[in-house]
Amino acid sequence: MIYSRIVGTGSYLPPRVMTNADFAARLDTTDAWIRERTGIVQRHIAEKSQTSSDLAFEASRHALAAAGVGAEDMDLIVVATSTPDYVFPSTACLLQSKLGVKGSAAFDVQAVCSGFVYGLATADNFIRAGAAKKALVVGAEVFSRILDWNDRGTCVLFGDGAGAVVLAAGSKPGVHASILRADGSHSGMLSVPGNVCGGAVAGSPFLQMNGQAVFKFAVRVLEESARETVAAADMQLSDIDWLIPHQANVRILDATARKLGLPSEKLVVTVDHHGNTSAASVPLALDEYVRAGKIRAGHRLLLQGVGGGFTWGSNLVTL
């Protein structure tokens, strides 16, 4: 039986930090208002010259180094992003080129904030099927490009960054179970309802969101997904060492942990200093806790995403 395991993690955050005070200086908001509603204190913002593939490259370098392998060893590259460099080619192909390799399969996954969870499940199935022995899975976003910077209800929430993992085939289970779900009837709840047509933007190029609806929906499906995934792995919630949900809002994180009966000590929280980095949020949080020595080999992790589409899902992983 072939399984896949995470053998290396990496991340990258652009150097520029934007605090709540920066927003308060130009919008009708305050540091206290933002903290109370979101738990966010600061976020990182990419320079105009930095693209998703640039951030992905830096995160990938760190993950490959941690795994002790080279980019040439990858049979598969999967990049989860909602902010690709171009319409095409894919960000994964651009990343492959920046890594200086060629020949492996490379493609993007678009599931918004669930993207990394979707990408990890995809790469795991490639390895289980024997179609790949090693895979690079990356979540990378420059959400600052799709924000209306005059809308205090959305622009304060998001940040830029990238996180990556290396998966390798092995004889012991690493990714125990993945559950992926979607419901397109809720597409209007969170979207960027625009596109390029005839050289011009058709519709709106900015993110729009019904915050209250997203909150209620996210807490419900994250609880359902967690229970479904744990059951699929024939485990119990008490077997989980760390819950790593998509870092959207600290109130969503706290509510999900409470509904699952998991203590706050098992909840990974990085949204306060990363903001919502969409598909990058889960691998960013994972790498931070791994490098801090909090998450260690043998720990069982429940990774969760929920985002526009609407999409959601979970991976149950032993590191």
**pLDDT the model gives residue 256:** 97
Cα of 236 vs its chain's centroid, Å: 24
Give CA–CA dist 55/221, Å, rounded. 30
Q: Does domain 3-172 have CATH number 3.90.550.10?
A: no
Is residue 171 a contact partner of residue 1, using CB atoms and an 8 Å limit? Answer: yes
What's the confidence (pLDDT) of residue 161?
98
| Confidence (pLDDT) at 89 | 98
Give how far the C-alpha of residue 7 lies from the chain's centroid of Cα atoms, to the nearest Å: 18
- End-to-end alpha-carbon separation of the chain, Å? 18
Q: What does the pLDDT look like over 227-250, one tens digit per residue? A: 999 999 999 999 999 999 999 999
* pLDDT of 281: 98
Tell me which architecture the domain covering 176-318 has in CATH.
Answer: 3-Layer(aba) Sandwich (3.40)
Q: What is the pLDDT of residue 206?
A: 98
Average pLDDT, the chain: 98
DSSP class of residue 103 equals S
134-142 and 190-191 strand pairing: unpaired
Q: What are 36-81's pLDDT values in tens digits?
A: 999 999 999 999 999 999 999 999 999 999 999 999 999 999 999 9
In the chain, which stretches have pLDDT less than 50?
none
pLDDT for 307 = 97
DSSP state of 280: G
List residues with catalytic annotation. Answer: 113, 246, 276
Going by C-beta distance under 8 Å and a sequence separation of 6 or more, which residues neighbour residue 173?
A: 3, 5, 318
Domain boundaries, the chain: 3-172, 176-318
Closest Cα partner for 120 from 64, 79, 65, 173?
79
